[in-house]
Chain A
Amino acid sequence: MSIKIGSKAYAERIQDGIDNSFMRKAVSSAQGRFRTGRLKAAEELGDWEDWRTLGEEIRSHTMENLDYYLHQLSEEVEKRGGTVFFAETAEEANAYVQEIAKKKQAKKVVKSKSMVTEEIGLNEALAESGCEVVESDLGEWILQLDEDPPSHIVTPALHKNKEQIRETFVKKKGYTKSDDPVELAAFAREQLRQDFLSADIGVTGCNFAVAESGAVTLVTNEGNARMVTSLPDTQISVMGMERIVPTWEDLEVVVSLLTRAAVGQKLTSYITALTGTRLEDEVDGPEDFHLVIVDNGRSKILGTEFQSALHCIRCAACINACPVYRHVGGHSYGSIYPGPIGAVLTPLLDGYEDHKELPYASSLCAACTEACPVKIPLHEHLIMHREIIVERERMNAKSEEIMMKGFAKWASTPAAYKMSTKMARTALKPWTKDEHIENGPGPLKGWTDQRDFPAPPKKSFREWYKHREERRNG
């Protein structure tokens, strides 16, 4: 897999999303829960805005000194017996992991949920080198069995219900029991236990690396990361180069923001911190620890107007707040990063060519910006993308450009503007019925496909005002 998922065109993906009434119901009820949770958790904190400011400060300080902290991190990791590898591209990262697998003659790899390995397509690369890869996060495991991409960054299988999950288990794993979530989870646990015990390599993502201590921390609710990181002898953590905080204190702030903003939890169930390899007197932990730090386009974002997109802590608050996501679901974005942050990040990492529609899949209502715990101005980034698509990449439709040029002329020439408002009624006459247009021409078509348009009345405001002035002045 890579950032891009599926091969369907944008319009088709959107229609699929809209037509999937089951998914939409699941998404909207989940959004409801997450939103109330987030608001409640924020309220409990009392000074949410101060926390957001603090979160933003930590993130922007880190990004501005990223070289320094990455250097510190790698020194600390190595001091503790780990090996650090900086991968500029997805290919480099995959090749490095493949090499380790080869050296260890690994047959089985267990993983704990990680977006970045999804982004670089690590599972496919490992499969190519003959390794069986098992996702150990329940949601990811279900998706893996079903060969389906994630649709949400915190709850990846949000689009599936328990009946569908049962069906997958029956088909792929010979499951025989009911669709009771407790039974389903027990079955998954049983299956996964075998994998944990027999795996040669454990691969994890990284929520945040702590520069001062060389620790990689993982936030999970199922505790699966603990199994992945304590059972296999070889441990590989893969992180996007921006997923780093300077100190443990900073970690405390961002993790508090993460869990509260994501689903409204005060604390997550598990925070796992990996620091180097197993010491002589320790009973568990890996013998061999590798940290792969992936660039894959991130450093190109540094120093640009989009730098704050790298502040993202992947809490999904923006996704949960977004009314567009609510109606089209995650797969419509055609990217493993869906929702508002996905619409901002995907074109940055993967170029505009395949994703030029994403920045327009927003009404710019700014619910995302308001929800973001580290104050990323998501809707402003979307406008900036549009500007680049139009003015630099010139990927806009010619017809639209002509219209916008016309707009500029119209809006900067009061006489033309006045004339057109006067003519609007006459021009729209052929389509007007009952003072409304139900089936409009040209640019009105998109509008009237979904709703009626009121016909302009006989007199515009400016005409009324002019007459009033004339009457007044005699």
Chain B
Amino acid sequence: MKVSLFITCLCDTITPDVGKDTVQLLERFGCEVDFPVGQTCCGQPAYNSGYKSESAKAMKQMIKAFEPSEFVVGPSGSCVQMIKEYPKVLKDEPEWRERAGRLAEKTYELTQFLVDVLKIENVGSTFKGTATYHPSCHMTRLLGVKDAPRILLENVEGLNLIDLPLKEDCCGFGGTFAVKNSAISGEMVQEKAEHIGETKADYLIGGDMGCLMNMGGRLRRNKQEVKVLHIAQVLNSQ
């Protein structure tokens, strides 16, 4: 199966290791992976701030970059969800709307792709440790990927998964919200950090780099010794 990697801008610049794990994971299951270099950012920062025409420029670039691809897979629920919104955003430009629709249809979040398309529930990995999982908002509520990450994690050997209290509450990231409404966002991520602390887990696992950076940054500021991992890193661990 031919899979094009959608390595989000944060993943590309800040956590390239997550990208590498994504590549290895997909290759492990026989996917022929490529990385279209024309890809940039999904456009979400501008879109969610109200800059529709600016975000449309990013969207069109992404549509062009992935046009030849068969499947597009990215390690981020939020950015994948943004791509799913493209047809709606570009609804007034029929030609682009159609091209956006084709991209939206073939784009998957990593765990969604593994479980729904490749039909894999056990990736055969081993990871020793106690961890808690934060189901990020866009991945669960908007993209509707709720079970896939849980199923995959439950099948990782050696992993002791502890439920995170009020896990469905937003961590306070929200893209530019974290900067624009920094004070409120700070209170939200502080509450999240406290809940993470309550689990006494050594690791925090998530499927969205933005949220992980937010929670990780606050945990570090609080001097809480919890290691933050993207789900691809856990699934690719041997």
Contacts and interface: CB of A to CB of B under 8 A. Distances in A.
A18 B37 contact: no
A410 interface: yes
A391 interface: yes
A362 B172 CA distance: 9
A364 B221 contact: no
Interface in B167-222: 168-170, 172-175, 177-189, 191, 213-214, 216-218, 220-221
Contacts of B41: 407, 410-411, 417
Contacts of B60: 412
Given A414-B40, A461-B20, A386 B48 contact: yes
B81 to A, nearest CB: 10
A147 to B, nearest CB: 27
Given A360-B180, A452-B221, A462-B7, A407 B12 contact: no
Contacts of A417: 9, 40-41
Contact of B12 (A324, A366, A404, A460): A460
A365 B175 CA distance: 11
B46 interface: yes
B61 A367 contact: no
Interface in B103-151: 137-138, 141-142
Nearest to A464: B16
A333 to B, nearest CB: 12
A96 interface: no
B188 A452 contact: no
Nearest to B174: A363
A300 interface: no
Given A365-B174, A370-B141, A387-B50, 12 more contacts: A369-B141, A391-B51, A410-B40, A411-B41, A411-B58, A447-B179, A451-B186, A452-B217, A452-B220, A454-B217, A459-B16, A461-B20
Contacts of B13: 421, 424, 456, 460-461
Interface in B28-63: 35, 37-41, 43, 45-55, 57-58, 60-61
B139 to A, nearest CB: 11
B11 interface: yes
Contacts of B19: 461, 464-465
Nearest to B38: A414
A375 interface: no
Contacts of A408: 46, 51, 53-55, 57-58
Given A327-B187, A364-B48, A391-B50, A414 B221 contact: no
A364 B184 CA distance: 13
A230 to B, nearest CB: 44
Q: Which size class do B's interface residues fall under? A: 35 or more
Nearest to A421: B13
A366 B48 CA distance: 13
Interface of B: 7, 9, 11-16, 19-20, 23, 35, 37-41, 43, 45-55, 57-58, 60-61, 65, 137-138, 141-142, 168-170, 172-175, 177-189, 191, 213-214, 216-218, 220-221
Interface in A444-472: 444-447, 449-454, 456-457, 459-462, 464-465
Contact of B218 (A18, A364, A450, A462): A450
Contact of B54 (A366, A404, A421, A447): A404
Contacts of A390: 49-52
A384 B217 CA distance: 30
A196 to B, nearest CB: 42
Which of B11, B12, B137 has most chain A Cβ within 10 Å? B12
Given A363-B170, A367-B168, A460-B16, A412 B57 contact: yes
A294 interface: no
A446 B178 contact: yes
A360 B181 contact: yes
Nearest to B212: A454
A363 B37 contact: no
Query: Closest 9 CB pairs between A and B?
Result: A363-B174, A386-B50, A451-B217, A450-B186, A365-B170, A411-B58, A446-B179, A461-B19, A446-B182
B222 to A, nearest CB: 9
A361 interface: yes
Tell me which of B50, B187, B191 has the highest count of chain A C-beta atoms within 10 A of its own C-beta: B50
17 contacts: A14-B181, A14-B183, A327-B187, A363-B181, A370-B141, A383-B48, A383-B50, A386-B49, A404-B49, A408-B58, A410-B40, A411-B43, A414-B37, A414-B61, A450-B189, A450-B221, A461-B16
B76 to A, nearest CB: 13
A15 B65 CA distance: 44
A233 B12 CA distance: 72
Contacts of B35: 462, 465
B185 A450 contact: yes
A324 B141 contact: no
A349 to B, nearest CB: 20
